[in-house]
A and B are shown apart, each in its own frame.
Chain A
Amino acid sequence: ELKVEQNPLFLSMQEGKNYTIYCNYSTTSDRLYWYRQDPGKSLESLFVLLSNGAVKQEGRLMASLDTKARLSTLHITAAVHDLSATYFCAVDISWGRDDKIIFGKGTRLHILP
């Protein structure tokens, strides 16, 4: 069964610092998503990563995918308070009889002013 593990689950950091969130998954997939969720709200799509070596950047966030290592990272550069939220990675498995997208438990990010 597919497992998607994020770490850390909680992260408190100072504004201006850099940090990386890791997403490991347990089965073959070449499609991975990153989402942001604010408290009480739905999920906002950040990135769709489609192939090994894919790298995407939007503002202070950069995501990458290594399908061989079954690892994706979300890097935050010079964090600002507005980036405080919960970040989820989700892995798409579409093979055999399985066809679903599985989410990690999320990383709750709190950026201190």
Chain B
Amino acid sequence: DTGVSQNPRHKITKRGQNVTFRCDPISEHNRLYWYRQTLGQGPEFLTYFQNEAQLEKSRLLSDRFSAERPKGSFSTLEIQRTEQGDSAMYLCASTRGGDSGNTIYFGEGSWLTVV
């Protein structure tokens, strides 16, 4: 399968711990997005990369959240000092980019539960 891959798929952590999620986009997709989704809500934009450059970051993202895409391939999303309100599904998506209006493909998501 050559879709967007995320891991871990599920993570339970104690409040105050740090967690890191990894996203492997579809090969040759230069655009990568991170979203957060809570139950009953639409995906909420977190951040966006074009190749290794982080071009956009939501103002809703506190300084406890950081994302990287060091070589323009896989990306990581780290949450430091987790809080219960961080419990959500974290979605990664990728697309080829450009003006051709390519489909944006989502991974299966990483579920985070902070206890």
Please give the residue numbers on chain A whose beta carbons come within 8 Å of chain B beta carbons, in ascending order: 31, 33, 35, 41-45, 48, 50, 88, 90, 98-106
14 A-B pairs within 8 Å (CB atoms) are namely A42-B106, A42-B107, A42-B108, A45-B104, A45-B105, A50-B101, A88-B42, A98-B56, A101-B104, A102-B45, A103-B42, A103-B43, A103-B45, A104-B42
Task: Say whether A105 contacts B103, CB under 8 Å.
Answer: no
Range of interface residues on B (Cβ < 8 Å): 20 to 34
Closest CB in chain A relative to B111 CB, distance in Å: 9
Q: How far is the CA of A46 from the CA of B89 in the complex (A)?
A: 21
Q: How far is the CA of A45 from the CA of B35 in the complex (A)?
A: 15
Closest CB in chain B relative to A80 CB, distance in Å: 24
* Given known A31-B101, A50-B101, A105-B41, contact A99–B106 (CB-CB < 8 A): no
* Given known A50-B101, A88-B42, A106-B42, contact A100–B106 (CB-CB < 8 A): no
* Given known A100-B48, A102-B45, contact A43–B56 (CB-CB < 8 A): no
